[in-house]
């Protein structure tokens, strides 16, 4: 998710026009301190709802900020690191299940999935476990939702749209707070710059 920060407050713009070369230190302070601090709180909150298989997505949250102009910066909250495409699928696909109760509610307690994506199909656990017992290359599935003991794998928690996209996503819950924190940062930096001469 990317957030664009623009200084649009007329009073701040007027101050910057009169004060000379303080725009650069103001934007530097915003990019170095205030924006990352606020977005890190959003990232930490989002991580609480990140799908958990092995925990890689939860551990791979990051925040970055770059200046894109005199009074502009872009900030990014991301998950997944090298597995960003996987994170995107997990985030955007509301059809995926992330807990055992979600799986059972959607497919039934006595069912399992064999295969990935569009090629996946639902079978009874009994039939699936029988297929899993076949030798490699003789009809043994390459992936199933359950292990050889019949236990559901992954599905340790989380949900889709943990970062943005629904009213319960971290960004939607925290957006006004983030704007308030950045505005406080602008005000604090302007006061500091005025005091320093």
Q: State whether 51 and 25 are in the same domain.
A: yes
pLDDT of residue 7: 59
pLDDT of residue 122: 92
Tell me 55's DSSP state.
S
Q: State whether 6 and 79 are in the same domain.
A: yes
> What residue numbers bound the domain in which 14 lies?
2-90+159-195
Q: Which residue has the tokens 């059809």?
A: 95
Q: Is residue 95 part of a domain?
A: no
pLDDT of residue 192: 82
Q: State whether 82 and 13 are in the same domain.
A: yes
Q: State whether 26 and 120 are in the same domain.
A: no
pLDDT of residue 105: 93
Q: State whether 23 and 44 are in the same domain.
A: yes
Q: Is residue 175 part of a domain?
A: yes
Q: State whether 40 and 129 are in the same domain.
A: no
- How many structural domains does the chain have? 2
Q: State whether 34 and 82 are in the same domain.
A: yes
CB 190 within 8 A of CB 14: no
Q: State whether 63 and 6 are in the same domain.
A: yes
pLDDT of residue 16: 65
b vs e for 127-157, b when ≥16 Cβ sit within 10 Å of the residue's Cβ?
Answer: ebbeebeeeeeeeebeebbbeeeeebebbeb
pLDDT of residue 174: 93
- Compute the half-sphere exposure of residue 27: CA atoms within 13 Å on the CB side of its CA: 22
The pLDDT profile of the chain, 197 residues, written as one tens digit per residue, is 555 555 566 766 666 666 666 777 877 888 888 889 999 999 999 999 988 877 778 888 999 888 887 767 888 898 888 778 888 888 888 888 888 999 999 999 999 999 877 788 899 999 998 888 887 777 788 888 888 888 998 888 888 898 999 999 999 999 999 988 988 888 888 788 778 76
Tokens of 180: 């308030």
Q: State whether 39 and 131 are in the same domain.
A: no
Dist CA 41 CA 175 (whole Å): 11
- pTM summary value: 0.74
């Amino acid at each position: 998710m990317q957030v664009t920060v623009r200084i649009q407050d007329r009073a701040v713009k007027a101050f910057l026009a009169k004060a000379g070369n303080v725009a650069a230190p103001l934007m530097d302070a915003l990019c170095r301190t205030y924006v990352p601090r606020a977005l890190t709180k959003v990232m930490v909150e989002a991580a609480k709802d990140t799908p958990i298989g092995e925990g890689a997505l939860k551990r791979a949250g990051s925040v970055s900020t770059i200046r894109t102009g005199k009074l502009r910066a872009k900030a990014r909250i991301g998950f997944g690191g090298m597995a960003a495409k996987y994170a995107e699928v997990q985030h955007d696909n509301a059809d995926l299940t992330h807990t055992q109760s979600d799986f059972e509610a959607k497919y039934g307690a006595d069912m399992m999935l064999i295969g990935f994506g569009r090629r996946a199909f639902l079978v009874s656990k009994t039939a699936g476990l029988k297929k899993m017992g076949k030798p490699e290359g003789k009809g043994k599935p390459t992936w199933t939702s359950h292990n050889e003991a019949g236990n559901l794998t992954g599905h340790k928690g989380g949900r889709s749209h943990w970062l943005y996209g629904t009213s319960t996503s971290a960004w939607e819950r925290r957006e006004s707070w983030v704007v308030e924190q950045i505005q406080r940062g602008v005000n604090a930096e302007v006061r500091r710059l005025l005091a320093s001469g």
